[in-house]
Structure 1
Amino acid sequence: MSSYEENESKFLRKAKESPFVPVGMAGFFAIVAYRLYKMRSQSNTKMSIQLIHMRVAAQGFVVGSITVGVLYSMYKEYVAKSIEEKK
């Protein structure tokens, strides 16, 4: 068997290691759901333009979430460790 507990799924284990990935996924699905709902009321613009805007917004949220996660892990690894070592 693998190194993690049998009761714990791989997704939950990865979510504990890097919590910004599930945030990015949730934001992605929320943006897509909102834009699809909003698409019904906007009949004056082309669907291809609406889909491009939806894709750009969802990708931007995911990239932003991953960037914040990387910055947070770098802070924990370098800044927080050096502060603890000085004490």
Structure 2
Amino acid sequence: MSRGEEPIYSEYETDTSQTSKLIRKFKETPFVPIGMAGFVAVVGYGLYKLKHRGNLKLSLHLIHMRVAAQGFVVGAITCGVLYSVLQDYVLKPKQ
């Protein structure tokens, strides 16, 4: 890089700690941590209910738990995409 040029990703290079990078990413895409937290919550609840599943087979219980966790993550991703489209195209001030 020559002296007169600025780096293309200067705002990304200034963050040196992993925590600041993580916080910046969470601010850019707020539905990612929501999806991760929901996934952990569904899996935790499923593991808690594992003892009280009744006559339900273990494999069927695990399949239900996996589908519920994946559904929560897909729902969070969909909400994030809709939020991004809303911010970029609907609420964006016209120039």
- Change in CA separation of 1:60 and 1:7 when aligned onto 2, cut-off 3 Å: closer
Match of 1:41 in 2: 52
Relative contact order, higher structure (CA 8 A, sep 6+): 1
The TM-score with structure 1 as length reference comes to 0.86
SS of structure 2 residue aligned to 1:39: coil
Overall identity of the aligned pairs, in % = 57
Deviation at 1:3, TM superposition (A): 3.0
Match of 1:10 in 2: 21
In structure 2, list runs of 5 or more residues that go unmatched: 1-11
RMSD of aligned C-alpha atoms? 2.0
More helix by share: 1
Q: State the alpha-carbon separation in 1 of the partners of residues 55 and 33 from structure 2.
A: 34
Q: Which has the larger radius of gyration?
A: 2
Match of 1:61 in 2: 72
Q: State the alpha-carbon separation in 2 of the partners of residues 31 and 7 from structure 1.
A: 27
Match of 1:85 in 2: 94
In structure 1, list runs of 5 or more residues that go unmatched: none
